[in-house]
Amino acid sequence: MTGYSHNLKFSESGVRGIVGDSLTPMLVSALASSFGKYVGGGRVIVGRDTRPTGEMLEHAVIAGLLAVGCQPVILGIVPTPTVQLMVDKYHANGGLAITASHNTIEWNALKFISSSGMFLDRSESAELFDIYSQGDLAFNAESDYREVRYENEAFEYHCKKIFEHINVEAIKKCHFKVAVDCCNGVGALFSRNFLERLGCEVYTVFDRLEGVFERPPEPLEVNLGCLCETVKKHHCAVGFAHDPDGDRMALVDNTGRALGTQYTIVLAAEHVLSDSPGPVAVNIQTTRAVEDVAASYGCEVFYSKVGEINVVEKMLECGAEIGGEGNSAGVIWRKIHSGRDSYVAMALVLEMLAQGGESLSDIVGSLPFYSNISRKMPCLPYPAREVILELSRRYAYAKPLTFDGLRINFDNGWVLVRSSNTEPVLRLTAEANSEKEATIILEKFSNEIQTLLSEVKK
């Protein structure tokens, strides 16, 4: 289910909106009550990122959960993957992460987590939104309210889970210098300590907890200039770039070069498969380089729709241990939990560097390279559907993939056109053997889409 109301979007990625416009405390409280009803009461884990509106919405969530008999367990400011892990630890009925992830500061959102620690899928989200739409919730009497519980050691549990599955001592022996761009998000609270426990000398940028982002929150190459300079200044082995809620992580190599979002999953797949070959699952917006890496170990790659839960479901279906989303610099390693996790990604990269003895730039230089570029075009759902349908007709001869937007494969690359799960935009991604070829593909389809949009509006 997907819908809009002004700047409000309902989807399997949760409910996102501009706070004070479409996303209000009343709406958030009602959604929290609906979620409490959906999970059948009981404990619900609640965490948030550093956005200034987070505390207000946290109170609204608490009120909504208490009203229907739930016991909120409040983690405060924590990475979204920490919320997922704590659902499992507490055997909770569900979890709520208050974060708009990579969206700009005026946005916030609720992400809904099932008792499995995974986000709700499309059908589960539809059931939740149906409960909300009916609006006939029965609220508990005062005598039935449960106390609010607070948990201050949630991230410690998260760390221990990761450290159990990586070679901590090998990393410590290297005494890596690392730089971290915390985006004034949850990384400002947790990343230095996490990396210092792995024996690293840490240099941080954008490390204030004010929640006012000093760079655009998406960890794209164009936004990482300060991190690149920090890596070069301090001769770091690697630079890590977070998004505000700590589930995405992009990389800067030891020369100060931003690698782009796609190489996070490429490197993670290379490292995990070198020790434990098996299938890999990634979304349809992920680079072909993952296929090349997997093929070198005799492994198969399976594609899913964009969206963390879609990748996780594909991983479970095909038995993949490693997977992720190239477009969002997201790594999912099921040894830890079934969700994107920037702390897992950092640990895997550091272990790879420690065990391989090569610099990050040398490792990347030995891997397949494709130029991957993208663009966003403002577009509401109806014209987006019309554009994708028309393109599907025009390029039917190429036998495009159509299970999530439209992906057309060419001999020298591919293009993907799809409607975003999180913003009222069409996303275009083009990949080819060179930046020039990728740009030609992107411009061709951008122009074609602009023409189609002007026709739809007539």
Do residues 18 and 104 touch, judged by C-beta distance below 8 A?
no
DSSP string, 94-131: EEEEE--TTS-TTEEEEEEE-TTSSB--HHHHHHHHHH
> Residues with Cβ < 8 Å from 123, sequence gap 6 or more?
none
Instruction: Kindly provide the residue ranges of all beta strands, DSSP E only, lying in 132-200, ordered along the sequence.
Output: 149-150, 177-181
Query: Which two three-digit tokens encode residue 151?
Result: 């948990």
Q: What CA–CA distance (Å, rounded) separates 90 from 75? A: 12
Amino acid making up residue 420:
S
Query: Which two three-digit tokens encode residue 443?
Result: 């411009």
Element (H, E) at 393: helix 381-394
Do residues 61 and 69 touch, judged by C-beta distance below 8 A?
no
The one-character DSSP state at 22 is: T
Do residues 405 and 386 touch, judged by C-beta distance below 8 A?
no
Strand order in the sheet with 201-205: 201-205, 177-181, 238-242, 249-252
Q: What CA–CA distance (Å, rounded) separates 41 from 249? A: 34
Judge whether 101 counts as a catalytic residue: yes
Q: What CA–CA distance (Å, rounded) separates 208 from 228? A: 19
Q: Which of 11, 13, 29, 101 is catalytic?
A: 101
Strand partners, 96: 46, 112
Q: What CA–CA distance (Å, rounded) separates 379 from 327? A: 19
- C-alpha gyration radius of the chain: 22
> Residues with Cβ < 8 Å from 95, sequence gap 6 or more?
44, 45, 46, 47, 83, 84, 86, 87, 112, 113, 117
The residue behind tokens 């889970």 is 161
Q: What CA–CA distance (Å, rounded) separates 164 from 157? A: 11
Residues involved in catalysis: 101
